[in-house]
Chains A and B, each alone.
Chain A
Amino acid sequence: MSDFKLNNETVLERIKTHFGEAILSSETPYDMLTLEVETSKIHNLIKFLKEDEALNISFLTLLGGIHYPENTGKELGVVYHLHSLIHNYRIRLKTFFSIENPEIDSIVDLYIGANWQERETYDFFGIKFKGHPNMTRILNEDDMDYFPMRKEYHLEDATREDKDDRFFGR
């Protein structure tokens, strides 16, 4: 289907015909289609986007986590940025889940480049990716016992002694 033009409306329609019930919301901030997807279906959606002959969205640009402590039940999330090099089209997928048991399917079987990005997301947020070959910390020390990018933790280490909170208004 080489005459399929990719723009936000056509892509959204095509995704909805195959995955209609998995798309929870869609918006286009700054002209990039952003879909919020149900956590259990995101792996299949990314696989569909990669293998569909019309869409050909087959380059993983970025994978990262995000933490919204106020959204109870959906505190942690993973954001995927995908890119179709052939059609020059970018898309963003988001999925949220609870902080109690943060688990999501890994997409290492689709994109090898997701390997370290998922490890980094685990290191920073504590999100476990099921099916990942080596789910360990990558940038921080292995014996670190907390996930630093979560909003409840300070930037500085607990061992810092020469920043007096009285002078810094904390």
Chain B
Amino acid sequence: MSNWKEENLHDTLKPQLSKETIDGDIATLNLGPTHPATHGIFQNILKVDGEKILSSEQTVGYIHRAFEKLSERRPFNQITPITDRLNYCSSPINNMGWEMTVEKLIGAEIPKRVDYMRVIIMELARIADHLVCNSVIGVDTGALTGFTYVFQEREKIYELYEEVCGARLTTNIGRIGGFERDFSPTFHYKLKNFLKTFPKAFNEFDSLLARNRIFMDRTMKAGPISGARALEYGFVGPNLRAAGIDYDVRAMNPYSSYQDFDFTIPVGVNGDTYDRFMVRQEEIRQSLRIIEQAYKNIPEGSYKADLPEFYLPPKEQVYNNMEALIYHFKIVMGETPIPAGEVYHSVEGGNGELGFYLVSDGGRTPYRLQFRRPCFIYYQAYPEMITGQTISDAVLTLSSMNVIAGELDA
């Protein structure tokens, strides 16, 4: 029997916390900014009681790159690389949204073939974005295999982008008025292959997670939000559709000939992580349907609009023709006059309604360009969605909302 007495112990060996404080204490936990599970740099200071979250406070702005100020300095065709870096998982959609905004401002007529080509590229980008989000939800629950399957498929999509524009991720695809070149024969070959092989690979990924008992138990009831509350916050995109509201810019304000295609808009019930996962899975299937329809019915025609003031003339003419030389010079130096006016145009990005509010004063650069970034607006709801949940559910909720840091901070 030891005559161990507390007073004989060294200070550091004595119990530091009394039992009362341990049982009743509310701890403050810092989730981020650099954290393996948060995909991007966000900080959430959580007040937790054990594992249950009581409240949280957010800090954003760790990747603020001043896009809006930067675009006031750049001529219109140099802003496309900036829009790439908004939602960089699906950058073609951002590029084309911007090009369509400028085309709306100048009142350009775009040939139908360009519209269909744009739809094919945009839906490929949507597939790529949703694949990343869903596989990352899998990784956060511990299922790493889906991630490796999915990234193999994304490589095929990257190869398709490379055929059109030369880049993999930040594509700067398309031009104001169409595309820089028509789809090459390799593109047709690769796209046909993709349409043949992707459904099988995707079903394999789907079978790993969609009806998996463990995955469903983890993700159901994690981070729910109701439809009405989501509308108050300004939710858009798959997050809103998982909450039950079927708002899709492609259906409501069709652009780029989306009204010609037949697709359904999947809608969830509870607005929890499982619904968001399933909505994105179904959207991938619908995107594949749209690509098949667009590819089968692509009309003959030009791959560019007739806009000599914005679209670079062919090089042979630049060397031989004075007018083409002047246009080339003006476009490259960014001295093309743009009509004054203000326009708001939105496209359905990977995360929802990506809007461009462009105010032009007739100069060579925009007077004011504001991006309506869906991530910035719906990330505000995150504290409400995780209150009362455990920390691991909070991590899952964050990855299922598909918060992309580039779009959040701009």
Query: Which residues in A have some Cβ–Cβ distance to B below 8 Å?
Result: 29-30, 32, 34, 58-62, 64, 66, 79, 81, 85, 88, 90, 92, 111-117, 120, 124, 137-141, 148-149, 155
Contact = CB atoms under 8 A, between A and B. Distances in A.
A148 B69 contact: yes
A81 B64 contact: no
Given A90-B344, A117-B376, 12 more contacts: A29-B342, A61-B353, A62-B355, A66-B359, A85-B231, A85-B252, A92-B344, A113-B234, A114-B234, A117-B377, A120-B376, A148-B66
B61 A61 contact: no
A7 B66 CA distance: 36
A79 B367 CA distance: 14
Classify the secondary structure of A's interface with B: mixed
A23 to B, nearest CB: 18
24 contacts: A29-B341, A30-B105, A32-B344, A59-B234, A61-B234, A61-B353, A66-B359, A81-B344, A81-B372, A85-B245, A90-B344, A92-B344, A113-B232, A113-B377, A113-B378, A114-B234, A116-B380, A124-B68, A138-B61, A139-B64, A139-B410, A141-B61, A148-B69, A155-B70
Contact of A113 (B66, B233, B252): B233
Interface string B309-349: 00000000000000000000000000000000111101000
B357 A139 contact: no
A113 B375 CA distance: 11
Contacts of A92: 344
Given A60-B234, A61-B355, A149 B68 contact: yes
Nearest to B74: A155
Nearest to B356: A62
Contacts of A66: 359, 368
B231 A62 contact: no
Contacts of B192: none
Interface in B51-105: 60-61, 64, 66, 68-70, 72-73, 104-105
Contacts of B145: none
Contacts of B61: 137-141
Contacts of B344: 32, 61-62, 81, 90, 92
Contacts of B60: 138-139
B104 A30 contact: yes
B380 to A, nearest CB: 5
Nearest to B234: A113
Nearest to A59: B231
Contacts of B187: none
Contacts of A120: 376
A32 B376 CA distance: 24
A63 B8 CA distance: 66
Contacts of B377: 113, 116-117
B253 interface: yes
B368 A111 contact: no
Contact of B234 (A64, A79, A111, A141): A111
B341 A30 contact: yes
Nearest to B346: A61
Nearest to B71: A155
Nearest to A62: B372
